[in-house]
A and B are shown apart, each in its own frame.
Chain A
Amino acid sequence: MTNSIACVDKAQAFLVIGSNTTENHPIIGDRVKRAVTQRGAGLVVIDPRRIELAEYANVFLQVKPGHNIPVILGMMHVILKEGLHAPDYIAERCEGFEEFAASLEAHSPEKVQQITGVDADLIRKAARVYAGAKPASILYAMGVTQHTQGTDAVKCLANLAMLTGNVGVEGGGVNPLRGQNNVQGACDMGGLPNVVTGYQKVGDDEAMAKFDEAWGRKVPREPGLTVTEMGHAALEGKIRALYVMGENPMITDPDLHHIEKALETLNFLVVQDIFLTETAAKADVVLPACSFAEKDGTFTNTERKVQRVRAALAPRGECKPDWQIVQELSTKMGYPMSYAHPREIFEEIASLTPSYAGIDYDRIEREGIPWPCPDRDHPGTPVLHVERFARGKGLFQVVEYKGPAEEADDEYPLILTTGREHPHYHSGSMTRRCGRINDCFPEGFLEMHPADAERLGLHTGDGVRVASRRGEITTKVKVVDRPAPGTVFLSFHYSESPVNVLTNPATCPVAKIPEYKVTAVRVEKA
């Protein structure tokens, strides 16, 4: 997030797009609801489903999956035409505006309506709600990014926030809500093929020289492969061994049949986890790790705040915390590591990472600190880009809409979109093993609009076969008017109905994120 969670309390208007906030980030969802009901803040919701926040919205734009970009372009067209933009802010703080402004000319609400079916007047109204109040905050999640044009959609949102002078402002911002406890931290720590800690590029010789010296080994300068690329590389025989720590790609990756083949092709698979997950079951060696309740360390939350995690239990059985397993393996491979406690690892991180340099365990004993925090006297940075953008001037980027990789046709006439349900979490390896939660929420349903259900002769509770161009699964149908006609929804928590057998592995060329949100499917009574 460019801004803090507390900033939600200061926003006068919200654009919530591709985020089912009340189910997936409930504590932030609560704050948005309070802002709307108790302070009268404006709310625009853009989503393929009539999610709970839609009931609170001034304007709800029910888009078809894959149609975010034209709708945002249409809103920006209106903002510019109606003079709702922030010319002084743009002139002072941004660049590339003229070319960008010219590119909006083609995206009148009527034009957008032709492409998306979203009513032109609703687009106008949405533009006025978002741009008519200051500050205004954009909240988004995987509904924006899990598309072949995900990066372009994020650029669109950045353009929208700059156009209205909402970046670097308390209560404003472009705020991705991150779905996993430490996905922010895993990125910050260099769990990515092109950067080490603090997003220092592996190709940057100067930055890497520091790591070469600190680690006593030369760090390779060529970026590595992303998770989706590793799958392909395994099938081509280029990746022979895979070491997986706390991930379950056998449920969470797109086109599972493909991943299964890739894992089976490997010469050697090591999985380190707390359960024998679907992925661990395929491994040559499984290493038992500690859960979050059994280890010390830090997580970095969606607002970049580094917070403490504390061991409440002794390791179970012979389990070890992940850091200790890596340390022992490293030592066995001739590179001795001897950290006594995660605190020592954190000190090393701080010494190599400018944005974490000022953080230590003592400072975050009671409350976390949001990075960047360059030195011990720095209070942390709740709002990014305050006086200037990280790159200097905020760059408007022209975005052209291309459409999703897959369209519905006669054979696969419905569009499936995926996500989470509030009681469960991700691949389900944790919440499906919480007795009470799983007793109350034991199975998933395919959400389908009554009009589609009637045409297919389906009723709530009926078993259905859902087939895409890549595979098929069975589940039960729930007839409900949350999705629009033509769109169906499934969550990915249930390994007995693994929705990612169906999803499309086509990725965004920049972010390499698969297009989970748009899959053409056929539904039949099972």
Chain B
Amino acid sequence: MINVTIDGVRVEVPKGATILEAAQEAGIRIPTLCYLKKLSPIGSCRMCVVEVEGCTKPVTACDTPAGDGMVVTTDSEELREMRRDVLRLLLVRHPLDCPVCDKGGECDLQDLVYEFGVTAESYRTEPFERDVPRYVSPFIRQWPDRCVLCGRCVRACKEVKGVGCIQIVDNGFYSYIGPVPGVECISCGECLSVCPVGALTDSVHPTKARIWQAERVPTTCGYCGVGCQLELNVLNGEVIRVTTTDFDRAPNFGSLCVKGRFGWEFVNHPDRLEKPLVRKDGELKEATWDEALGLVARKLQEIKDEHGADAVGGLSSARCTNEENYLFQKFMRAVIGTNNVDHCARL
């Protein structure tokens, strides 16, 4: 363990911890943009610059290891001006188009620009091309002019998913996130979930909503058995997208696969059954609940009375909740009176 002093607060951190981690330990916030806990730090955006006693120049906190006895200052007028400059330079390319951006309201850049009082696009250049060839995934729309080249998406794709299908292409002002030739995207949307700005947006549902308009309901994914935690975003009684904003939640820590992130449209599908159906003259016709359940109750009772309880079988479901499975087998065992209950665990 080593001792570090951050803004006058002394903390003990393990050897190898960065200045940023030491500051977090001390409860002191350092502004960041390209940093994300689950990714390797690269010190590229320079928002996290801090002064270290004895160093002539400020250093980036996210990727500089804390040293024993180090004395760090995270906030000064000079640092604030440096951070403002970082933001002004990002705004050369990034338009202040927050009113038309999906990310408006939970954008790291928007928050920082607001916090540091940068109120105008101070430097001018020709606008960066907005329309580009399709992104690597058809589930995601790319807005290259909004990209701040933090490289979170590139690192997440490689480090978290082990795919590495995107990279920073070209140089300087003209850099953009483009495909890595020969590496196929799996459309997991990890890049989308870590983008701090609106450079990558979900393109599945035509309906958009301001962040504060849609309700986010945390729940468990309905596909495989991993049980990923995700948020259903709901507007006017319809799911419009899936997000993961809590990167500390097990078991997936904000990651999903193509099904979990983009496979929710079935919920709104017009094929959804909306009324009970009863077969009449060989055809399934709409019926009331009372009619349908009455018929089921009568038929099951008849068959039970005539052929015994074991003439009835039931399949419960690996797709339904625990509570529903419990109730189903209770119904089969206590009401029908048979142990003929199974589900597709074997299939």
How far apart are the CA atoms of A245 and B323 in the complex, in Å?
13
How far apart are the CA atoms of A334 and B224 in the complex, in Å?
37
How far apart are the CA atoms of A368 and B229 in the complex, in Å?
10
Binding site for A on B (CB under 8 A): 138-139, 159-162, 186-188, 204, 215, 217-229, 232, 234, 237-239, 249-252, 255-259, 262-267, 269, 271-279, 284, 289, 292-297, 299-301, 303, 307, 309-335, 337-347
Question: Which of B220, B224, B267, B313 meets A313, CB within 8 Å?
Answer: B267
Smallest beta-carbon distance A310→chain B, Å: 5
Question: Is A513 touching B346 in the complex (CB atoms < 8 A)?
Answer: yes
Question: Is B278 touching A434 in the complex (CB atoms < 8 A)?
Answer: no
Q: Which residues of B contact A345 (CB under 8 A)?
A: 323, 326-327
Given A240-B303, A317-B275, are A227 and B266 neighbors across the interface (CB < 8 Å)?
A: no
Question: Is B188 touching A308 in the complex (CB atoms < 8 A)?
Answer: no
Sort chain A's interface into a size bin.
35 or more
Within 8 Å of chain B (Cβ to Cβ): is A114? no
Question: Is A239 touching B340 in the complex (CB atoms < 8 A)?
Answer: yes
Question: Is A301 touching B251 in the complex (CB atoms < 8 A)?
Answer: yes
Interface string of A434-447 (1 = CB under 8 A from B): 11110110000000
Question: Which of B284, B319, B338 meets A283, CB within 8 Å?
Answer: B284
- For the A-B complex with A27-B226, A289-B273 known, give 17 more contacts whose Cβ atoms are closer than 8 Å: A26-B186, A179-B225, A181-B222, A189-B326, A234-B313, A243-B296, A273-B273, A283-B279, A288-B273, A299-B321, A312-B219, A312-B232, A314-B237, A318-B289, A330-B331, A433-B271, A436-B204
How far apart are the CA atoms of A252 and B319 in the complex, in Å?
14
Given A180-B319, A184-B225, A249-B344, are A329 and B297 neighbors across the interface (CB < 8 Å)?
A: yes
Given A252-B344, A318-B276, A332-B294, are A302 and B322 neighbors across the interface (CB < 8 Å)?
A: no
How far apart are the CA atoms of A300 and B321 in the complex, in Å?
8
Listed by A's residue number, 6 A-B pairs whose Cβ atoms lie within 8 Å are A247-B317, A274-B273, A301-B227, A325-B293, A339-B327, A423-B258
Interface string of A297-325 (1 = CB under 8 A from B): 11111110111111111101111111101
Question: Is B187 touching A241 in the complex (CB atoms < 8 A)?
Answer: no
Q: Which residues of A contact B258 (CB under 8 A)?
A: 422-423, 437
Interface string of A157-191 (1 = CB under 8 A from B): 00000000000000000000111111111111111
Smallest beta-carbon distance B270→chain A, Å: 9
How far apart are the CA atoms of A258 and B114 in the complex, in Å?
67
Q: Which residues of B contact A185 (CB under 8 A)?
A: 318, 321-322, 325
- Nearest 4 interchain pairs by C-beta: A317-B274, A301-B227, A297-B321, A224-B339
Given A247-B317, A302-B227, are A228 and B326 neighbors across the interface (CB < 8 Å)?
A: no
The binding surface of chain B is classed by DSSP as mixed
Question: Which of B226, B275, B300, B321 meets A333, CB within 8 Å?
Answer: B300
Stretch at the interface among A42-50, A194-202, A409-417: A194-202
Stretch at the interface among A131-139, A212-220, A391-399: A212-220
Tell which of B188, B309, B311, B320 has the most Cβ of chain A within 10 Å. B320
How far apart are the CA atoms of A292 and B272 in the complex, in Å?
13
Q: Which residues of B contact A280 (CB under 8 A)?
A: 273
Question: Is B313 touching A233 in the complex (CB atoms < 8 A)?
Answer: yes
Q: Which residues of A contact B256 (CB under 8 A)?
A: 27
Q: Which residues of A contact B159 (CB under 8 A)?
A: 34, 38
Smallest beta-carbon distance A368→chain B, Å: 7
Q: Which residues of B contact A152 (CB under 8 A)?
A: none
How far apart are the CA atoms of A303 and B250 in the complex, in Å?
11
Question: Is A223 touching B339 in the complex (CB atoms < 8 A)?
Answer: yes
Question: Is A436 touching B272 in the complex (CB atoms < 8 A)?
Answer: no
Q: Which residues of A contact B333 (CB under 8 A)?
A: 196, 211, 215, 217, 219-220
Q: Which residues of A contact B314 (CB under 8 A)?
A: 242-245
Within 8 Å of chain B (Cβ to Cβ): is A480? no
How far apart are the CA atoms of A29 and B197 in the complex, in Å?
28
How far apart are the CA atoms of A191 and B326 in the complex, in Å?
7
Question: Is A342 touching B321 in the complex (CB atoms < 8 A)?
Answer: yes
Question: Is B324 touching A323 in the complex (CB atoms < 8 A)?
Answer: yes
Q: Which residues of B contact A243 (CB under 8 A)?
A: 296, 300, 312-315, 332
Question: Is A297 touching B259 in the complex (CB atoms < 8 A)?
Answer: no
Q: Which residues of A contact B339 (CB under 8 A)?
A: 193-194, 202, 219-220, 222-224
Given A177-B225, A202-B339, A333-B335, are A252 and B347 neighbors across the interface (CB < 8 Å)?
A: yes
Tell which of B238, B239, B258, B327 has the most Cβ of chain A within 10 Å. B327
Within 8 Å of chain B (Cβ to Cβ): is A287? yes
How far apart are the CA atoms of A333 and B238 in the complex, in Å?
35
Question: Which of A322, A326, A425, A516 meets B259, CB within 8 Å?
Answer: A425
Question: Is A275 touching B272 in the complex (CB atoms < 8 A)?
Answer: yes
Which residues of A, 31-58, contact B by the 8 Å Cβ criterion? Answer: 33-34, 37-38
How far apart are the CA atoms of A5 and B316 in the complex, in Å?
26
Smallest beta-carbon distance A35→chain B, Å: 10
Interface string of A89-125 (1 = CB under 8 A from B): 0000000000000000000000000000000000000
Q: Which residues of B contact A238 (CB under 8 A)?
A: 310-311
Within 8 Å of chain B (Cβ to Cβ): is A225? yes
Q: Which residues of A contact B255 (CB under 8 A)?
A: 27, 30
Q: Which residues of A contact B324 (CB under 8 A)?
A: 245, 297, 321-323, 326, 342
Within 8 Å of chain B (Cβ to Cβ): is A293? yes
Q: Which residue of B lies closest to A33 (CB)?
A: B162
Question: Which of B271, B289, B323 meets A346, CB within 8 Å?
Answer: B323
Q: Which residues of B contact A247 (CB under 8 A)?
A: 315-319, 343-344
Q: Which residues of A contact B139 (CB under 8 A)?
A: 436, 440
Tell which of B239, B271, B295, B341 has the most Cβ of chain A within 10 Å. B341
Which residues of A, 329-361, contact B by the 8 Å Cβ criterion? Answer: 329-330, 332-335, 337, 339, 342, 345-346, 348-349
